[in-house]
């Protein structure tokens, strides 16, 4: 699986999807650039999400707020005081880790052990095996479970109370070692704030410290009343936004899974207090349906409900995708109560009440949010789509089985040979279709090689202009996944392809 992930990373680079940032200067940690095909795929992902939010719901509208915001916003939101990760260094390897991640990895290992025990027993007992009963009665599993729960309880306590020594103690007690040095020679745990800061204005006129936003959500909260009033919105309604966010992540690894500059697609849904759980369930379902509609395989997704809730939330779940390195969070769905709006009332001194004309009451709405990283969704789609398969003639074909609507190039137009007017004809087809969807003209190398190149970037359809085209204005159209071909009239191409690639 690790090999597979490495292959996907190099595929992304080799085929112009994702490049390390500042590569000729040896790169910049956890920052990446999107190449010619990557940007098309990314734009399509954003467009699909945007449409699924704003077109499919008559009560969700979009905004685009600035990255720079008043510094007090981050005090109100709690980010200045609490957007921290607990850091710990290993004295031998001099490597820095997130203390919470070390403990979470330890817990995940216990979960693994339990699953392995159950799988072993299932094999031994065959059809009559009752996994539930086995989990509840097997002494070894109960032992693991007890260890898991006790550690988690102490971990939650230490984190919520900000007891950093307590966090360290867990690492020591559980004999968690540094993966590099193999030793448990740890420093104390310190808090590290993830926000990037810079200065606005020149020093002469008194520069002030401002932050690069670590999430897009706050831009929505501070604009909620602007949108509600100018759009005459009635509860429940939502505001969607796509934009860059910045976090000074300590452990930057796993390619574009955890970046320091990334993009979020967030939607805050404002509801009447008391109705938040209904909407939380609604958005859980709706968002899962979105993911499954991408066709990567339903079994690749699961919910992970949070037991440990952030101070502002009364319910939270993650949608996880099975990456080559395990099930990982791609999207978070949170019921955030009225925490944010109330804090902004307090810090700004402005009322953020909604006037409900039916009850003639004013109140601060509750919020259910869906929050997803564009780059993580991109990665999940890349991982789900990447496929190596043996063809009939024994060759290995690398194909990106991207949903047609997301593919960077929808149609490749390939003249069989570069003579007898075939190339001119092909170019004319491209000229005719390029306003409807992305087309690519390619005349270089053998037709087989050209098909492979299109497979590797996920182009769902290739058409070949051959001698027959010159006689009857028909072309062969090849399907990426089945590699089957059939003939169609050039005049019908637009309709046929549109029906398959339209979002
Ligand atoms: P994690 O636990 O992985 O750090 P989080 O719970 O802090 O993520 P949220 O603050 O809920 O994440 O952000 C919402 C979404 O934004 C995440 O589900 C993820 O898709 C995306 N995201 C968050 N941090 C990053 C990052 N450093 N790089 C890329 N995407 C990110």
pLDDT in tens, 57-106: 999 999 999 999 999 999 999 999 989 999 999 999 999 999 999 999 99
Q: Decide if pLDDT at 275 tops 90.
A: yes
CA of 272 to the centre of ligand 1 (A): 27
Atom 21 of ligand 1, residue of closest alpha carbon: 373
- Strand pairing partners for 87? 98, 190
Question: Given this model, what pLDDT does residue 210 score?
Answer: 94
CA of 206 to the centre of ligand 1 (A): 34
* Atom number of ligand 1 nearest to Cα 258: 28
Of the candidates 477, 454, 451, the residue with the CA atom closest to the CA atom of residue 464: 477
* Atom number of ligand 1 nearest to Cα 328: 3
Q: How far is CA 392 from CA 64, 396, 483, in A?
A: 50, 10, 11
* Atom number of ligand 1 nearest to Cα 329: 18
For a mutational test of ligand 1's pocket, the pick from 241, 251, 262, i.e. the residue with the most ligand atoms closer than 8 A to its C-beta, is 262
3-state SS record for 132-187: HHHHHHCHHHHHHHHHHHHHHHHHHHHHHCCCHHHHHHHHHHCCCCCCCCCCCCEC
Tens digits of residue pLDDT in 418-474: 999 999 999 999 999 999 999 999 999 999 999 999 999 999 999 999 999 999 999
* Atom number of ligand 1 nearest to Cα 371: 14
Dihedral (CA of 217, 220, 222, 228) sign: negative
Instruction: Give 101: exposed, middle or buried? Use CB within 10 Å, 0-12, 13-18, 19+.
Output: middle
For a mutational test of ligand 1's pocket, the pick from 30, 105, 258, i.e. the residue with the most ligand atoms closer than 8 A to its C-beta, is 258
493 three-class SS: helix
For a mutational test of ligand 1's pocket, the pick from 248, 283, 303, 371, i.e. the residue with the most ligand atoms closer than 8 A to its C-beta, is 371
Question: Given this model, what pLDDT does residue 313 score?
Answer: 87
Question: Given this model, what pLDDT does residue 29 score?
Answer: 93
CA of 232 to the centre of ligand 1 (A): 32
CB burial string 173-203: b at 16+ within 10 A, e below: ebebbbeeeeeeebeebeeebebeeeeeeee
CB atoms within 10 A of CB 280: 24
Q: Decide if pLDDT at 410 tops 80.
A: yes
Mean of the pLDDT values across residues 295-304?
Answer: 96
Model confidence band, residue 202 (pLDDT cutoffs 50, 70, 90): confident
Q: Decide if pLDDT at 377 tops 90.
A: yes
Atom 18 of ligand 1, residue of closest alpha carbon: 331
What is the percent of the chain with per-residue pLDDT over 70, rounded to a whole number? 99
CA of 250 to the centre of ligand 1 (A): 13
Question: Given this model, what pLDDT does residue 140 score?
Answer: 94
CA of 73 to the centre of ligand 1 (A): 20
Model confidence band, residue 502 (pLDDT cutoffs 50, 70, 90): confident
- How far apart, in whole angstroms, are the C-alpha atoms of residue 40 and residue 351? 42
- How far apart, in whole angstroms, are the C-alpha atoms of residue 475 and residue 487? 5
| E strand or H helix at 485 | strand 485-489
Ligand 1 pocket by Cβ (under 6 Å):
215, 247, 249, 258-259, 262, 264, 329-332, 371-373, 375-376
Atom 22 of ligand 1, residue of closest alpha carbon: 373
Atom 12 of ligand 1, residue of closest alpha carbon: 332
- How far apart, in whole angstroms, are the C-alpha atoms of residue 432 and residue 489? 14
Atom 25 of ligand 1, residue of closest alpha carbon: 258
* Atom number of ligand 1 nearest to Cα 249: 27
Q: Kindly indicate whether the ipTM for this predicted assembly is greater than 0.85, answering yes or no.
A: yes
First to last CA, the chain: 32
Q: What are phi and psi of 425, to 5 degrees?
A: -60, -45
Dihedral (CA of 14, 17, 23, 24) sign: positive
Atom 7 of ligand 1, residue of closest alpha carbon: 332
* Atom number of ligand 1 nearest to Cα 334: 11
Determine contact, residues 468/422, Cβ cutoff 8 Å.
no
CA of 242 to the centre of ligand 1 (A): 14
DSSP character string of 205-253: T--EEEEB-S-SHHHHHTTHHHHHHHTT--SSEEEEEEEEEE---SS--
CA of 437 to the centre of ligand 1 (A): 32
CA of 468 to the centre of ligand 1 (A): 53
For a mutational test of ligand 1's pocket, the pick from 255, 264, 304, 378, i.e. the residue with the most ligand atoms closer than 8 A to its C-beta, is 264
Atom 6 of ligand 1, residue of closest alpha carbon: 332
Atom 9 of ligand 1, residue of closest alpha carbon: 332
Q: Give the angle subtended at the CA of 202 by the CAs of 200 and 205, to the nearest 5°.
A: 105
* Atom number of ligand 1 nearest to Cα 377: 20
For a mutational test of ligand 1's pocket, the pick from 214, 332, 334, 372, i.e. the residue with the most ligand atoms closer than 8 A to its C-beta, is 332
Model confidence band, residue 34 (pLDDT cutoffs 50, 70, 90): very high
Mean predicted lDDT score pLDDT of the chain = 95
Atom 20 of ligand 1, residue of closest alpha carbon: 373
Determine contact, residues 437/473, Cβ cutoff 8 Å.
no
Mean of the pLDDT values across residues 110-127?
Answer: 92
Atom 19 of ligand 1, residue of closest alpha carbon: 373
| E strand or H helix at 287 | helix 276-292
- How far apart, in whole angstroms, are the C-alpha atoms of residue 331 and residue 296? 16
Question: Given this model, what pLDDT does residue 290 score?
Answer: 98
User: Model's pTM, two decimal places?
Assistant: 0.90
Instruction: Give 140: exposed, middle or buried? Use CB within 10 Å, 0-12, 13-18, 19+.
Output: exposed
Atom 2 of ligand 1, residue of closest alpha carbon: 329
- How far apart, in whole angstroms, are the C-alpha atoms of residue 199 and residue 218? 20
């Amino acid at each position: 699986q690790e090999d597979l992930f490495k292959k996907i990373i190099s595929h992304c680079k080799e085929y112009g999807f994702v490049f390390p940032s500042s590569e000729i200067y040896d790169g910049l940690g956890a920052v990446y650039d999107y190449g010619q095909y990557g940007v098309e795929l990314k734009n399509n992902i954003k467009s699909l999400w945007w449409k699924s939010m704003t077109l499919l719901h008559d009560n969700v509208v979009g905004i685009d707020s600035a990255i720079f915001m008043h510094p007090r916003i981050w005090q109100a939101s709690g980010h200045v005081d609490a957007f921290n990760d607990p850091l710990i260094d290993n004295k031998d390897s001099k490597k820095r880790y997130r203390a919470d991640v070390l403990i979470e990895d330890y817990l995940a290992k216990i979960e693994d052990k339990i699953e392995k025990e159950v799988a072993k027993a299932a094999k031994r007992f065959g059809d009559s095996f009752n996994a539930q009963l086995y989990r509840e009665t097997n002494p070894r599993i109960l032992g693991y479970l007890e260890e898991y729960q006790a550690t988690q309880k102490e971990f939650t306590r230490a984190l919520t109370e900000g007891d950093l020594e307590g966090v360290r103690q867990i690492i020591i007690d559980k004999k968690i070692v540094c993966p590099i040095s193999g030793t448990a020679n740890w420093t104390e745990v310190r808090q590290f704030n993830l926000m990037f800061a810079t200065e606005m204005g020149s020093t002469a006129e008194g520069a002030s410290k401002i932050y690069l936003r670590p999430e897009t959500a706050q831009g929505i909260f501070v604009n909620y009343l602007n949108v509600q009033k100018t759009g005459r919105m009635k509860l429940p309604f939502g505001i969607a936004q796509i934009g860059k966010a910045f976090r000074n992540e300590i452990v930057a690894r796993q390619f574009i899974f955890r970046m320091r500059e990334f993009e979020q697609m967030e939607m805050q849904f404002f509801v009447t207090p008391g109705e938040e759980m209904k909407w939380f369930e609604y958005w859980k379902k709706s968002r899962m349906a979105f993911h499954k509609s991408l066709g990567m395989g339903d079994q690749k997704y699961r919910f992970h409900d949070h037991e440990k809730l952030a101070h502002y939330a009364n319910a939270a779940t993650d949608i996880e995708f099975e990456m080559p390195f395990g099930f990982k969070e791609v999207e978070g769905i949170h019921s955030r109560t009225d925490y944010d709006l109330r804090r902004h009332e307090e810090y700004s001194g402005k009322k953020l009440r909604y006037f409900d004309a039916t009850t003639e009451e004013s109140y601060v709405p509750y919020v259910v949010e869906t929050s997803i990283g564009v780059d993580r969704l991109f990665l999940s789609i890349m991982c789900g789509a990447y496929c190596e398969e043996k063809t009939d003639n024994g060759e290995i074909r690398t194909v990106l089985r991207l949903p047609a609507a997301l593919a960077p190039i929808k149609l490749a137009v390939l003249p069989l040979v570069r003579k007898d007017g075939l190339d001119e004809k092909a170019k004319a087809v491209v000229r005719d279709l390029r306003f409807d969807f992305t087309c690519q003209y390619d005349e270089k190398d053998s037709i087989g090689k050209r098909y492979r190149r299109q497979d590797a970037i996920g182009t769902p359809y290739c058409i070949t202009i051959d001698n027959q085209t010159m006689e009857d204005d028909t072309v062969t159209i090849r399907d990426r996944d089945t590699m089957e071909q059939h003939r169609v009239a050039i005049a019908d191409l637009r309709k046929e392809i549109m029906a398959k690639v339209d979002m």
